[in-house]
Amino acid sequence: MNKLRFVGVKFREDVFEQIEVIAKKEGKSLSEVVRNLVNKGLSERVLEENTDLIAQIIRQQLEIVLKPHVERLASLSSKGGHMSATATFLNVQALMDLVPSERRKDVREMYESARKKSAAYMRTRTDEWEEI
């Protein structure tokens, strides 16, 4: 058990009256109220002084946990982009190689039409795709 030590403290009249009101309201002695207020103030001060440290620790821990997942998602996104570009150019190449020249259409027009349809598709819910 912690040893209690005595110290005399002087308060302004208005502050002393506030302490008396708190003591009466809580049914405690003036000494108890003053001790509680000082303890609360010290705790808040420690918290305020260490908030930046706590925030830094939390940021570091979040980075440790999230970084592998973020890197994995970036890698998957990059692979998806490469696959999409490959598929686009493969389709164009197939159209150019396999469709007779008299039946070929302008590839740029087909690409723009397909790009617009895919953008519209990405903006809609799946059950609305039939309407586009």
pLDDT digits (tens, 9 = 90+) for 12-30: 999 999 999 999 999 999 9
Q: Specify the residue for token string 């302004």.
A: 12
Tens digits of residue pLDDT in 45-86: 888 888 888 889 999 999 999 999 999 999 999 999 899 889
pTM score, whole prediction: 0.45
- Residues 37-54: tens digit of each pLDDT: 998 988 888 888 888 888
Q: How far apart are the C-alpha atoms of 41 and 45, rounded to whole Å?
A: 6
Measured between alpha carbons, how far is residue 89 from residues 58, 93, 107, 119 in Å? 46, 6, 11, 18
Largest CA distance in the chain: 105
